[in-house]
Chains A and B, each alone.
Chain A
Amino acid sequence: QVQLQESGPGLVKPSQTLSLTCTVSGGSISSGSYYWSWIRQPAGKGLEWIGRIYTSGSTNYNPSLKSRVTISVDTSKNQFSLKLSSVTAADTAVYYCARDILTGPSFYMDVWGKGTTVTVSS
């Protein structure tokens, strides 16, 4: 049973870069045709997809965040990571990593991490 676990600083200062890592356990990040996504959720609000990566390094990003987002993968560590630059208070949220299933034109998420809360504050 594949499990995902997010990790990283819970507090980031404004204008700095938010960095999170998702560790995949119970299976290889490189097995199958899975992609791997980041999603976030501000407190009391809805879900926003941030971007995804394949183990080849191919990425897709949400157009609204594309200029600030970088997602990378380290297959040797069974991990993928998120960097979000120039953060503001609006980036305060619970950040989830998830496994993407490709079907038809795009993806849905079938396995999610538990989420990690990131607060942007000085």
Chain B
Amino acid sequence: DIQMTQSPSTLSASVGDRVTITCRASQSISSWLAWYQQKPGKAPKLLIYKASSLESGVPSRFSGSGSGTEFTLTISSLQPDDFATYYCQQYNSYSLTFGGGTKVEIK
């Protein structure tokens, strides 16, 4: 299986901050990476696919970049609704794997 490692595991930030989350793959996955947002008690919500393509309806303050083994999710100006846990997911192989998650907390 391809292992996905996210950092940091927890991030404290304030409204208006620029936030960056990193996801690393144990082998090259080209651009086959998705990002999800999950709020407590809710299902994950797709934000980005193919590393940098924004899902319809997702605010433009979210962006993704990277290829190969290193990827980032950036929130350009953190909003109150963005405090949540974020997961990356590789889809380079039929057996999908997720990163361990990054919790974005209020500073």
Which residues of A line the B interface, CB within 8 A? Answer: 37, 46-49, 60, 62-64, 96, 101, 103-110, 112-115
Contacts and interface: CB of A to CB of B under 8 A. Distances in A.
Contacts, number: 67
B7 to A, nearest CB: 14
Main secondary structure, interface of B, reads loop
Interface residues of B, number: 26
Interface string B93-107: 111111111000000
B5 to A, nearest CB: 11
A96 B98 contact: no
Interface of B: 1, 30, 32, 34, 36, 42-46, 49-50, 55, 87, 89, 91-101
Given A63-B1, A104-B30, A108-B49, A115 B43 contact: yes
Contacts of B46: 108-110
Given A106-B96, A112-B43, A112-B44, A46 B101 contact: yes
Main secondary structure, interface of A, reads strand
A115 B39 CA distance: 13
Contact of B98 (A46, A105, A113, A114): A46
Contact of A47 (B44, B91, B95): B44
Contacts of A107: 91, 96
B91 A105 contact: yes
7 contacts: A46-B100, A47-B44, A47-B89, A104-B92, A106-B93, A109-B89, A112-B43
A49 B78 CA distance: 29
A49 B95 CA distance: 8
Nearest to A49: B96
A114 to B, nearest CB: 6
A109 B100 CA distance: 17
B87 A47 contact: yes
A64 B95 CA distance: 10
A106 B94 contact: yes
A37 B91 CA distance: 13
A109 B91 CA distance: 10
